[in-house]
Amino acid sequence: MDQKDRLRYWRKNLRYLLILLVIWFVSSFVLGILFVDYLDGVQRTPDGVVEDPDSFFHGFRLGGFKVGFWIAQQGAIYAFLAIIAAYVWLMNKLDKEFNIEEKEISTSDH
Amino acid sequence: MDVQIWTYIIVGFTFAIYIGIAIWSRAGSTKEFYVAGGGVSPLANGLATAADWMSAASFLGMAGIISFSGRDGSVYLMGWTGGYVLLALLLAPYLRKFGKFTVPDFVGDRYYSQTARVIAVICALFISFTYVAGQMRGVGIVFSRFLQVDITWGVIIGMAIVFLYAVLGGMKGITYTQVAQYCVLIFAFSVPAIYISIMLTGNAIPQIGFGSELIDEPGVSLLDKLDGLSTELGFDQYTTGKKGTMDTFFITMALMVGTAGLPHVIVRFFTVPKVSDARKSGLYALFFIAILYTMAPAVSAFARTNLLDTIPNTSYNESPEWFKKWETAGLIAWKDKNNDGIIQYTKGNAFEGKPTYIKNRDGEFERGEHGEIMLSNAHVKGENELYIDKDIMVLANPEIAGLPDWVIALVAAGGLAAALSTAAGLLLVISTSVAHDLIKKSINPNITEKGELYAARLAAVGAVLIAGYFGINPPDYVAAVVALAFGLAAASFFPILILGIFSKKVNKEGAIAGMLIGLVSTLAYIVYFKFLHVNLNKPENWLFGISPEGFGTVGMILNFVVTIVISKFTPKPPVEVQKMVEEIRYPGEIKS
């Protein structure tokens, strides 16, 4: 592997990471936390939670679940799994593309 | 056969397996002791990581907490799984390529500093000790509740088992017992969940079942019924949250980042042979964890529905058998405030604190007019008369649903497997930190291989004894201390590990300052609200509305900023270190 190849390999890795981490953030923090009430079709007021008829998702059910609730308690975890699976697949492909031969790493003190 | 005999049989059988594995997999070298010789397959490592990660809190506590907090409980579901994305993508492959034994090894070498190494060791020890005390306590509680063994004896039996495979086998012994323990705990968690899912909704997959229609009430989905029951009784809707959005955000982030910074989790990735195996075992680990974590919220909803459907507005005399059994154990208590003999259950506390029962001279419980056990707790205003411990939702779930005795026994074995596997992983980090990072790398570098292995075993013995002591005499603040462990892992380790891999410019001055700032700020905030001024621990007093549980995120951000800024104004790291960073970024050997 020459210097140019190594840089290309690293840049590609960083690009994969960026895309996958954006998906990670959106699937948990954006959909599961910031917009969870909207996806549930409810609104928070000082007097408590009320229905939000303006929400596109009001009254909508995903197999019996409110959408936000499902993402926060199920969907996000499935997304995490898919993200790691994608990364494993992409990196194995990248290693092959760059002909990286992996040897067993000898763990040692020196 | 009754529950007790079943429990003895099933728990005894699983313990025999663990001991068998311990004898079979004795460690002969430090490499075997610290990282199982680096030859664990990604699948086995994924299973072991899942068992290592899922503690008594995941197995017994989490479903209970979600049961009582509804959608707000999703901070734990997302927080304790999302960290694996960070681990598998940002840390595990590179730390594996680095090829040493511990997290402080990486910190010490990457930041070419003995000071940084020692700070890292102190963090690792502190995090692991706070965590392990809770696990030993969990072992004791399971023993005392299911086998009517005294908690002290429960802890001692647990210590003896962990002692056998952690001290003899080191990482090698731990890894293969953890594989067995994962199988036990996931089986124990799934069986009641599937049973109850079929009973309530006819769907054998709990993850789908808790959104399905009820068998008894066609056309009504379980969650809608639960929302209805909750509001009828004066609780908040189950499927909506109460916690502030910002606080939820910060807590979830702190738990995710904390997960990725926990030394006992990171070190598991040092046991596989190759970088690609480290990535793969991250995937396996999350897969095996996700099986339990997606099932837990279903268990919570089932248990809550069953509870709200059967107990409120029932008279004590007609309450089911399990109600009285767990009342005797002090996990359920009823104070008949309006003296009508009927159990009222609504928002608010029934009385102050945990139940303390009144006993007569013969040591028997003093009973009230309706047969309930009398309490000496201080009176609290409000209509709620019922106290329910959160742990009961998993422990008593099989009984509440009327499942056979062997299923109840299985839950006991599962709880023990969860607590023992996590305790062993933590004990190993403690013994490695002492023998390797402190003795070999800091105090006496000339120690022989044999001497170091001896020191590691001795340190493991010491750690088992200390953990056992805390298990028998638990400090009052175990729960508060868990927030501390995650906060500290997030604020101290995570930023400097990430920067150490992804930046060549970050230097020792930056890292030391960053770790200290993250550590001190998080420690100060949590100690202030959780230990010194517990009465001030309210949203209106928090900084930006962030609770102590979420403050690790702030500490993490401070750590990042300070490390980067100080590195800018101080000399670059030496060329060898920059070369090392270059090297860990590629999975293969570098030829140039």
pLDDT in tens, B414-435: 988 888 888 888 888 888 888 8
Q: Which of B40, B54, B85 to mutate to test the interface with A (most CBs of A within 10 A)?
A: B85
Burial of B576 (0-12, 13-18, 19+ CB in 10 A): exposed
User: Are B188 and B292 a contacting pair, CB within 8 Å?
Assistant: no
Same domain, B417 and B374: no
When pLDDT is averaged across residues B523-548 and rounded to a whole number, the result is 81
User: Are B173 and B420 a contacting pair, CB within 8 Å?
Assistant: no
Torsion, Cα of B572, B574, B575, B576 (10° steps): -140
pTM: 0.92
**Which residues touch B126 (CB under 8 Å, ≥6 apart)?**
B485, B488
* B296 within domain boundaries: yes
* B294 within domain boundaries: yes
Tell me how many domains chain B contains: 2
Contact A29 B252 (CB under 8 A): yes
CB proximity B90 to A under 8 Å: yes
CB proximity B239 to A under 8 Å: yes
* B541 within domain boundaries: no
Helix ranges (DSSP H) in B54-148: 56, 62-69, 74-86, 92-98, 103-110, 114-147
Instruction: Among B474, B497, B515, give the residue marking a domain's end.
Output: B474
In whole angstroms, give the CA distance from residue B3 to residue B147. Answer: 9
User: Are B418 and B58 a contacting pair, CB within 8 Å?
Assistant: yes
Closest CA to B124 of B347, B573, B433, B393: B433
Instruction: Among B474, B494, B513, give the residue marking a domain's end.
Output: B474
* B502 within domain boundaries: no
Contact B99 A78 (CB under 8 A): no
Same domain, B300 and B362: no
Chain B residues in contact with A64 (beta carbon < 8 A):
211-213, 221-224
Instruction: Among B474, B493, B514, give the residue marking a domain's end.
Output: B474
- Nearest by CB to residue B89, choosing from A20, A49, A107, is A20
Same domain, B124 and B161: yes
More confident residue, B494 or B528: B494
Same domain, B408 and B384: no
Q: Which of A44, A77, A106 to mutate to test the interface with B (most CBs of B within 10 A)?
A: A77
Q: What is the pLDDT of residue A2?
A: 78
pLDDT value at A110 more than 60: no
The CATH number assigned to the domain holding B172 equals 1.20.1730.10
Contact B276 A102 (CB under 8 A): yes
Give the chain A residue nearest B96 (alpha carbons). Answer: A105
Per domain, the residue ranges of chain A are 13-97
Q: Which of B240, B277, B584 to mutate to test the interface with A (most CBs of A within 10 A)?
A: B240
Same domain, B94 and B240: yes
Same domain, B301 and B336: no
ipTM of model over 0.90: yes
In whole angstroms, give the CA distance from residue B192 to residue B404. Answer: 10
* B79 within domain boundaries: yes
Highest mean pLDDT among B171-175, B289-293, B352-356: B289-293
Closest CA to B332 of B318, B322, B344, B342: B322
Contact A74 B207 (CB under 8 A): yes
Q: Which residue has the tokens 């201390």?
A: B481
* B564 within domain boundaries: no
Same domain, B245 and B380: no
CB proximity B284 to A under 8 Å: no
Cβ atoms within 10 Å, residue A108: 11
In whole angstroms, give the CA distance from residue B304 to residue B388. Answer: 11
pLDDT tens for B45-103 read 999 999 999 988 788 888 888 998 888 899 999 999 999 999 999 999 999 888 888 88
Contact B89 A83 (CB under 8 A): yes
In whole angstroms, give the CA distance from residue B19 to residue B161. Answer: 7
In whole angstroms, give the CA distance from residue B109 to residue B100. Answer: 10
CB proximity B248 to A under 8 Å: yes
Same domain, B217 and B337: no
- Per-residue b/e over B428-450, b at no fewer than 16 CB within 10 Å? bbbbbbbbbbbbbbeeeeebeee
Same domain, B226 and B362: no
* B563 within domain boundaries: no
Highest mean pLDDT among A8-22, B347-361, B376-390, B407-421: A8-22
* B489 within domain boundaries: no
Give the chain B residue nearest A16 (alpha carbons). Answer: B89
pLDDT tens for B255-275 read 999 999 999 999 999 889 889
Distance from CA of B587 to the nearest CA of A (A): 6
Q: Which domain holds residue B366?
A: 332-388
Same domain, B12 and B117: yes
